[in-house]
Chain A
């Protein structure tokens, strides 16, 4: 508990401006000095896709997780409102929980179990006293028809093929009880709010990693990954690239079309993110 308080205090003291409101969509402007794009090969098989995500999503977050944690602490009101509307005594899952900022919302009344494929994120959550395990979103360790609600915030855009995005949504729907609801969000291709524009729906977004957050794990990665060092106002950064599939209008509809037992309750754009609430039939 005291650990937790200290952490919050530290964060307040920093008074760092939280530019964005979603878990992954923040400092791109800060983190994208020259708008560089890294080319990559379109995955030709599911195994290719798995390896691309491993290299450009999981391994990157495993390294930058503590830096990420220090910049992402503000909950997105939309997600907060959703969780606060859930009835007392409900159990739910947060798939791809990251640093766990939603696991505490409505605490005591509802119980949210987090999971992330990046083990450094489940470690960060546990250090904060939050319940999180390490699991692949495509292979959730839960029984079918178990949970009252589910969230997956800024996660689905890290899956690199249409089929894998469908499978990921299907897997969450599988563990949901009939009648249960699920809030899912993804980055939009048109980022008017942030004043950015991407010219392609599959992009590599750079992350400037501050060396002070360096951990052991990172050295392992350094051996096998390409990365550049960048100096900006006296601080040395390392640049990593995260893979994103940016969502278009109607994209959630076309994904959920492949899943039979759901109704879309709402589907909108908020702060450059599509968010969609569905209900399992």
Chain B
């Protein structure tokens, strides 16, 4: 999961998970699924999530290790955060998780503020390019 703000694309990841309530599901184990999905996983992200959910994972895993595969499957498919939040590491926007559903929706003001802000930035950049003088060098952190 990543931040939905356009300014955060490529930066707002991974969202920091905070879990207040977790549910244990009981999906049937599928070895083939874990084996195929394993190489595609963002291992750092998985480690972070595991820590938040109190699941102990080894530093490096192998799909030959039965216990590891089962632990990973449980983490991926059978643990569900019912109540908690996701926080963007870039802009600190907090996305709530309620009744098991992450709410990733931005408010109208957030969307249109961001669009305006990005348009302004672009304009600024263009002006700066055409501006040969060095005096207007104030850079604003947003």
Contact = CB atoms under 8 A, between A and B. Distances in A.
Given A46-B115, A88-B32, A133 B102 contact: yes
Interface in A97-140: 108-109, 111, 115, 117, 119, 122-123, 126, 129, 132-136, 139-140
Contacts of B5: 139
How big is the B interface, by class?
Answer: 35 or more
Given A89-B35, A109-B33, A111-B37, A141 B101 contact: no
Contacts of A90: 36
B1 A88 contact: no
B106 A142 contact: no
Nearest to A1: B26
Nearest to A58: B105
Contacts of A136: 4, 104-106, 111
B72 interface: no
B101 A134 contact: yes
B74 to A, nearest CB: 14
Interface in A34-76: 46-47, 50-51, 54
Contacts of B28: 108
B104 A135 contact: yes
B102 A134 contact: yes
B9 interface: yes
B7 to A, nearest CB: 11
A87 interface: yes
A122 B32 contact: no
Contact of A141 (B104, B108, B115): B104
How big is the A interface, by class?
Answer: 20 to 34
Nearest to B36: A89
Contact of A133 (B3, B103, B108): B103
B63 to A, nearest CB: 11
Contacts of B36: 87-90
A90 B40 CA distance: 9
Contacts of B32: 88-89, 109
A172 to B, nearest CB: 14
Nearest to B2: A143
B11 to A, nearest CB: 10
Contacts of A144: 9-10
B13 interface: yes
A57 to B, nearest CB: 14
B6 interface: yes
Interface of B: 1-6, 9-10, 13, 15, 25, 27-28, 30, 32-37, 40, 77, 95, 99-106, 108, 111-112, 115
28 contacts: A47-B108, A50-B108, A50-B111, A50-B112, A87-B36, A88-B32, A90-B36, A108-B30, A108-B33, A123-B99, A123-B101, A132-B101, A134-B102, A134-B103, A135-B105, A136-B105, A139-B4, A139-B5, A139-B6, A139-B111, A141-B1, A141-B2, A141-B15, A141-B102, A142-B1, A142-B2, A143-B2, A143-B10
Given A119-B105, A139-B106, 17 more contacts: A50-B111, A91-B40, A108-B33, A109-B33, A111-B37, A119-B101, A119-B103, A126-B101, A134-B103, A136-B4, A136-B104, A139-B111, A141-B102, A142-B1, A144-B10, A148-B40, A174-B9
8 A-B pairs with the lowest CB-CB distances in the bound complex, closest first = A89-B36, A139-B4, A135-B104, A141-B104, A133-B102, A89-B37, A143-B2, A134-B103
